[in-house]
Every structure is written in structure tokens, then in C-alpha cells.
Amino acid sequence: MDESRFQEIVEEIFERFKAYGVTKKEIENRLRLLLFEFKVPEEEARRTIINGLRKNYNISRADLKPPLTKISEIEPNKWVTLKAKVIQIWEPNSPAIAQSGLIGDETGTARFVVWAKANKRKLEEGKCYLFEKVVVDEFMGIKSVKVTSASDVREIDEEIEVKEEGGEVEVIGALVSIQQNSGLLQVCKLCGRVVKAGVCVEHGKVETNEILRVKGILDDGERTYDLILGEEVVKSLTEIGLKEARRLAEEHLDRGIVLIELKRKLLGKYLRIIGELRFRTLTARSAEFFRPKIIQEVQKVLEEAGA
């Protein structure tokens, strides 16, 4: 066990007993003895210390029940218990992570991570859970709760209303995927859904509008976003607007050429996005290539070298 994990356990136990005069030093001494001298498994050592302190300080189990914390109140490096609804499940970006995503309650939202070693049952989107003994972490100002082997998570028969959060944000990341419902599209005038052969899945045969957009996945290294680029933003990045897209499609007798060109110009590129974030969806108001001057200089050098 590394020192950081050791201190996590100490902190978790201390948070439960500090009101009764228990010191961190006392917990550290007991934990080191059990883990390193007697080679007691982590969870058993934790249980032994909690039961021992409860007995020594004459504390009932009911008194030790941790109070519920609202998401707006969570603080880094604290162990908390909270009730929350799973809003989104994301694709894990590491084999060490079993699940990650977004949870929320009536006060706000936070990311969550379930470590693979925690060996917990899979959480499901839309369901509400009681998260006991989870530790709060913070990275670049963004708070998250971590489910460890010491945590208890169970589904609850409650409906939690989640406070919607949004507002303007700035995100820098790589456009790692562009979805098929991107490019030059025909959409239903009534609902905005993409139509095929003039037929909307909701309204049948309909009149259509023609739009240009990109839907993709933006990865900032910490999380992913469902990115939406409208016509003006697409044109600012690629010099392809609705007029240019129509011309391309007419020249090649194929709308698909527009998506091919957009992928060629955007896929894999780093972008600085300013836009509206709602849960996982980031709708761009403006966008630029990240550090475009350096990119242009590199391209210029490559062109000169090839000349």
C-alpha cells in the first residue's frame, strides 16, 4: 500500500471520529500496526479500528452514522456520504477505472469515479443511489467523488431532482470523433430532426431546411464532451459555410463529400471552444484552433521543406 492510500484511510476514519477527540496520530499508529506488522487486509483493518475506537470512546453505531452532504457542500480531501442521481455514464479512459460519469442532486452536479479495485456493482443512468464513505477529489478546479473499496453504494427508491447547471465555459481539447449526423443535412422544419428522403421519423413526409453542422466528441484529457458546432463556427474553422457546402455537394453529386472535407480539416485537431455547457453537451459559440500561430508556422516550415 502506498502512502497516499494509507493517508486516505486515516482521513476517512478521522472524519468520523474527530468530534469525539480522536487524533490522526492515534489512527495512524493503529493502522500501521495492523497493516504492516500483522498484515491484516485493508478492509478488515479499517473495520477493526472503527470498532475499537467506538468501544474505547463509548460511541454508539447510531451516533457514528455519517451525516448527508449536499453536492454543493463537498470539499476536496473529505470523506462524505451523499444521495445523488446518476446523470451520465462516460467511457472509462483507464483500465484502473470501472466507471465514471456525472451525478447530481438538487444543489448541483459533480463527476464520479468508481475504481476498478473497488469491485462495486455497475451504476445505471437515471437511477438514484446512496453513496457512503466516498472521498472528494479536485483537479483543475473540478470536484469529483471517488468510490473506493471502503465505500458503500446502494440504489435507493427515491426520485432526486437535479439542479441543471450550465453557463458559458472555455474548453481546450482534441476533436477525437466526428459523428455521421454531421455535414450538410436536411432537417425537419417542425422538429429539427435529420430526415432521409424527405421523411421525418416523427412527422413523416415533411418540408425540410438545409443546415451545416458538426457533432463530435471533444476530449480535454480529463473528460469528454458532446460537441456541437453550428454553421458559423464551422465556417470560421474550415472556411466551409452553407453556400460552400452546397457547391461541393453539387460538384460531386454527393452530400457525403462535405462530411469528408470537414473530417479532413477538423478531426484530431486541438480546439479552444467557448460555449454553453449543459451536463455533457457543449454547444460552441466560438472556436479556434489551439495555438493556431504555432500550427501555421509548422505548416509553413513543412511546405518550405517540401518545396
Mean pLDDT across the stretch 228-238? 97
Residue 253 has pLDDT above 60, yes or no: yes
Q: Tell whether 162 is covered by a domain.
A: no
287 and 197 within one domain? yes
Counting the structural domains of the chain, the total is: 3
Whether residue 298 sits in one domain with residue 227: yes
Nearby residues of 228 by Cβ (< 8 Å), 6 or more positions away: 213, 214, 215, 281, 282, 283, 284
| 183 lies in the same domain as 299 | yes
Full domain range(s) for residue 26: 3-61
Q: Which position has the grid cell 451525516? A: 67
Q: Of 18, 37, 61, which one is at a domain's C-terminal end?
A: 61
Looking at the structure, tell me whether residues 194 and 77 fall in a common domain. Answer: no
Retrieve residue 292's grid coordinates: 493556431
In a domain, 192, yes or no: yes
Look at residue 163 and tell me if it is in a domain: no
Boundary residue ending a domain (16, 33, 61): 61
Say if residue 203 is in the same domain as residue 292. Answer: yes
Domain assignment present for 255: yes
Burial of 24 (0-12, 13-18, 19+ CB in 10 A): middle
Domain boundary among 124, 155, 186: 155
Q: Say how far apart CA 210 and CA 223 lie, in whole Å.
A: 32
**Judgement on whether residues 172 and 299 belong to the same structural domain of the protein:** yes
Do 174 and 110 share a domain, yes or no? no
The three cell numbers of residue 119 are: 469491485
Q: CATH number of the domain that 122 lies in? A: 2.40.50.140
Instruction: Kindly state whether residues 186 and 300 are assigned to the same domain.
Output: yes
Q: What is the pLDDT of residues 168-225, one digit of tens each?
A: 889 999 999 999 889 999 998 887 888 888 888 778 888 999 999 999 999 988 788 8
Residue 206 maps to a domain = yes
Instruction: Note whether residue 220 is domain-resident.
Output: yes
Judge if 296 and 174 occupy the same domain: yes
Tell me: the pLDDT tens digits for 116-171?
Answer: 999 999 999 999 999 999 999 876 457 889 999 889 999 999 999 987 766 788 99
Looking at the structure, do residues 286 and 206 belong to the same domain, yes or no?
A: yes
pLDDT at 94: 78
pLDDT at position 53 over 90: yes
Model pLDDT for residues 64-79, shown as the tens digit of each residue: 877 899 998 999 888 9
Contact 15, 27 (CB under 8 A): no
Same domain (yes/no): 111, 206: no
What is d(CA 283, CA 33) in angstroms, rounded to the nearest whole number? 54
Higher per-residue confidence, 235 vs 277: 235
Q: Say yes or no to pLDDT of 10 above 60.
A: yes
- What's the CATH code of the domain at 187? 2.40.50
Q: Is residue 286 part of a domain?
A: yes
57 shares its domain with 83:
no
Q: Supply the DSSP string of the chain, one letter for each residue.
A: --HHHHHHHHHHHHHHHGGGT--HHHHHHHHHIIIIIS---HHHHHHHHHHHHHHHTT--HHHHSPPB--GGG--TT-EEEEEEEEEEEE--SSTTEEEEEEEEETTEEEEEEEEGGG-PPPP-TT-EEEEEEEEEEEETTEEEEEE-TT-EEEE-S---PPPP---EEEEEEEEEEE-SS-EEEEEETTT--B-BTTEETTTEE--EEEEEEEEEEEE-SS-EEEEEE-HHHHHHHHS--HHHHHHHHHHHT-THHHHHHHHHHHTT-EEEEEEEEETTEEEEEEEEESSHHHHHHHHHHHHHHH-
